[in-house]
């Protein structure tokens, strides 16, 4: 493992040395890792780092995702989930009772939830107070259940809708019980490409600023990168470096999730050379490079919904240490052609982790380990 002469032959000696010394890699190192022909060599470096941080542990969470609506003002070209209005075929908007009923059903299992993950489109008229009421009702129903909800994009949307600052939106949500935010909406930070893919969405600057504001209030957040579409490896590395810089400033990112673009039902059509079986290897490499560049973000998630179960399991050997969770119901990936299941049981997740050679750890929304709370 990490044989010096092998890495020398690949031209990766200095990267190997930095990894062994725990030194920060540069953007140029990131590019060299993307260019390296041997992805197992890249994977072994990432595995070394993940073992230093987490040993042989791979975590999962007993969670329930609730997508409250897919009606969205942003109109991002890649998104197969969104609808422009409630009248469009396939549009949905959940009522308060729909959400609470889903929560009751999921929490009725003897094992209980450790995370409620609420995320959806930026609905043109659904106001912040409506969501605050939902949070309060959810907490009345399940008082100790951590609520992970809304990306930086939704926070900016509420700020516009309510005419208040993003910091105030966050403060109000925190008072109502928000403890954690998912990492979506980061997409790709490069401004030129972002203008092509999601011109109406919060800018890169706004996304990072809002993450920093959440961190300043003690709300932890995750972060993501949507990749495997039109971006270059330079733009990927730039994205990862911007996350790393933000983390140096505000320190509240808990987990990074690289999201491979799923192509079905998307208005964004990829050229032939971007499609095909090499996408699996690219996913493993991207997980590995993320682990290596993001030296200040504790966890890397192989999100089984988007990667598929088999590749997510393999990614545990390429730097990932978390698989996300039981999910129960997922729409963003599945409306874009995800072939993974809708949900998994605890024993399926643990089996997947053990079969890959790791020790399962059940965690909550903020990545603290939980004892089975049956
Ligand atoms: O922001 C949209 C992405 C994100 C597609 O923080 C797509 O724990 C692939 O961020 N193909 C939402 N990806 C999902 C997300 C997430 C999921 C699970 C856990 C966490 C977490 C965060 O999904 C969006 C966008 O980047 N997305 N369309 C697509 N066709």
Sheet of 359-363, strand order: 322-325, 57-61, 359-363
The answer to whether the CB of 117 falls within 8 A of the CB of 65 is: yes
CA 97 to CA 262: how far, in whole Å? 31
Give 333 Cα–ligand 1 centroid separation in angstroms: 7
Give 10 Cα–ligand 1 centroid separation in angstroms: 34
Pocket test residue of 152, 157, 184 for ligand 1, highest count of atoms within 8 A of CB? 184
Identify the sign of the CA torsion 56, 57, 60, 62. positive
CA atoms in the 13 A half-sphere facing the CB of 65: 21
- pLDDT at position 278 is 81
- pLDDT at position 309 is 96
Domains in the chain, ordered, with CATH?
A: 57-373 (3.20.20.70)
Q: Is 300 in the pocket of ligand 1 (CB under 6 A)?
A: no
pTM, whole model, 2 decimals? 0.97
Closest atom of ligand 1 to CA, residue 221: 6
* pLDDT tens readout for residues 229-246: 999 999 999 999 999 999
* pLDDT tens readout for residues 87-144: 999 999 999 999 999 998 888 876 689 999 999 999 999 999 999 999 999 999 999 9
Q: Residue 372 pLDDT > 70, yes or no? A: no
Q: Point out which residues pair with 299 in neighbouring strands.
A: 255
Q: Is 324 in the pocket of ligand 1 (CB under 6 A)?
A: yes
Closest atom of ligand 1 to CA, residue 81: 28
Q: What percent of the chain has pLDDT over 70?
A: 99
Q: Is 34 in the pocket of ligand 1 (CB under 6 A)?
A: no
- pLDDT at position 374 is 43
Q: What percent of the chain has pLDDT over 90?
A: 94
Residue with tokens 């010394």: 21
* pLDDT tens readout for residues 152-169: 999 999 999 999 999 999
* pLDDT tens readout for residues 250-262: 999 999 999 999 9
């Amino acid at each position: 493992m990490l044989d010096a002469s092998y890495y020398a032959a690949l031209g990766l000696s200095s990267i190997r040395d930095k990894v062994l010394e725990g030194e920060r890699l540069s953007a140029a190192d990131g590019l060299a890792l993307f260019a390296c022909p041997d992805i197992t060599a890249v994977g072994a470096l990432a595995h070394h780092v993940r073992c230093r941080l987490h040993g042989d542990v791979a975590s999962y969470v007993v969670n329930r995702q609730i997508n409250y609506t897919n009606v969205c003002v942003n109109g991002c070209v890649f998104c197969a989930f969104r609808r422009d209005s409630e009248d469009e075929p396939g549009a949905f908007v959940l009522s308060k009772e729909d959400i609470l009923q889903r929560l009751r059903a999921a929490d009725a299992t003897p094992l209980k939830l450790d995370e409620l993950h609420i995320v959806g489109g930026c609905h043109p008229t659904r106001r912040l107070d409506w969501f605050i009421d939902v949070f309060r009702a959810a907490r009345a129903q399940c008082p100790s259940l951590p609520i992970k909800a809304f990306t930086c994009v939704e926070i900016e949307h509420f700020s516009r809708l309510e005419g208040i600052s993003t910091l105030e939106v966050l403060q109000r949500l925190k008072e109502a019980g928000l403890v954690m935010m998912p990492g979506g909406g980061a997409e790709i930070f490069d401004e030129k490409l972002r203008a092509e893919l999601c011109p109406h969405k919060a800018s890169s600057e706004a996304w990072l600023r809002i993450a920093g504001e959440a961190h300043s209030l003690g709300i932890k957040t995750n972060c993501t990168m949507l990749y495997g579409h039109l971006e270059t490896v330079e733009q990927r590395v730039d994205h990862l470096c911007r996350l790393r810089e933000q983390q140096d400033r505000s320190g509240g990112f808990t987990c990074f999730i690289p999201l491979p673009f799923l192509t079905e039902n998307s208005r964004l059509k990829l050229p032939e050379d971007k499609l095909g079986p090499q996408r699996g290897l690219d996913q493993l490499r991207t997980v590995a490079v993320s682990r290596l560049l993001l030296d200040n973000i504790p966890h890397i998630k192989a999100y089984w919904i988007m990667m598929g179960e088999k590749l997510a399991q393999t990614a545990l050997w390429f730097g990932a240490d978390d698989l996300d969770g039981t999910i129960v119901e997922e729409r963003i990936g599945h409306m874009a052609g995800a072939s993974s299941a809708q949900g998994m049981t605890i024993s399926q997740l643990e089996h997947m982790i053990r079969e890959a050679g790791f020790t399962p750890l059940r965690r909550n929304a903020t990545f603290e380990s939980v004892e089975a709370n049956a």
